[in-house]
Structure 1
Amino acid sequence: MSTPDPHAFARDWLAAWNAHDVEAVLRHFHDDVVFTSPVAARVLPESGGVLRGKDELRRYWTEGLRLIPDLRFTVEAVYAGVTAIVITYRNQQDVLVNEVLIFDGDRVREGHGTYPGDDPNPAGARD
């Protein structure tokens, strides 16, 4: 099993995020995806930071964009594994973030947003 072309995937992912097009981002994910993020725990506290399925991801990312209307990413590096792609990017607050994406075929089955361990407000969401 292999991943899609990592750089092409990262370009599509970046374009979708910077356009704030949640549906375009979701096209990269399986319907039963599991995604974890400390930001999700803040945006949707009931999730405990674990989102299951596209509907929960859609709700999280839609609310995240509402809370962070200036969201913008810049890709710094792309790494490829056997079934994983890691996208290292900077967000609108210049915080370095890693998105770890595990693939099943050409779509993401499992994803993990990872942030610096010492950042109390990783997404830059305003309280």
Structure 2
Amino acid sequence: MTPDAARFSASWVAAWNAHDLDAVLAHFADDVVFTSPVAARILPETGGVLRGKDELRRYWAEGLRLVPDLHFTVERVFAGVDVLVISYRNQVGSLVDEVLRFAGGQVVAGHGTYLAESGDDPAGLATAGD
């Protein structure tokens, strides 16, 4: 069952904008699988596939370190049978869609997706200080 779309997306974006990793991760199952092309850049050994909450924490903690001004603005939320898609803009104005599949009230699979255009830097990593 999918949670209430407006309530979930509000909680999700508030946790991200507070940089509260524990609050973000509270939405995810321990055995979550998450894919992201940005994860492939930040943690190349994963190939962009993160398995489990601990690996997801490692990725997002490093992402927050690299992008200390990270900020999301939700544009739209789409709801399916067991899926929510949160469409948002990040701190550099790039449009991102997070596709989240639910079971038992938690995210069991997620996919960070980015607009398929030229070689821009949709996550804003180029502006991040290393």
Report the TM-score when normalising by structure 1: 0.96
Aligned partner of 2:117 in structure 1 is: 118
Instruction: List runs of 5+ in structure 2 lacking aligned partners.
Output: none
Paired with 1:17 and 1:54, the residues of 2 have a C-alpha distance of 16
Deviation, structure 1 residue 118: 1.7
Provide the aligned C-alpha RMSD in A. 1.0
- Matches of residues 7-26 of structure 1 in structure 2 within 5 Å? 7-26=6-25
After superposition, give the CA deviation of every residue in 1:31-71 in whole Å (9 maximum; x if it has no partner). 00000000000010101000000000000000000000000
Aligned partner of 1:89 in structure 2 is: 88
Report the TM-score when normalising by structure 2: 0.94
2:88 aligned counterpart, secondary structure: strand
- Matches of residues 45-124 of structure 1 in structure 2 within 5 Å? 45-120=44-119, 121-124=121-124
2:29 aligned counterpart, secondary structure: strand
Equivalent pairs: percent with the same residue?
A: 67
Deviation, structure 1 residue 122: 2.1
Contact in 1 for aligned 2:92/2:122 (Cα 8 Å): no
Instruction: List runs of 5+ in structure 1 lacking aligned partners.
Output: none
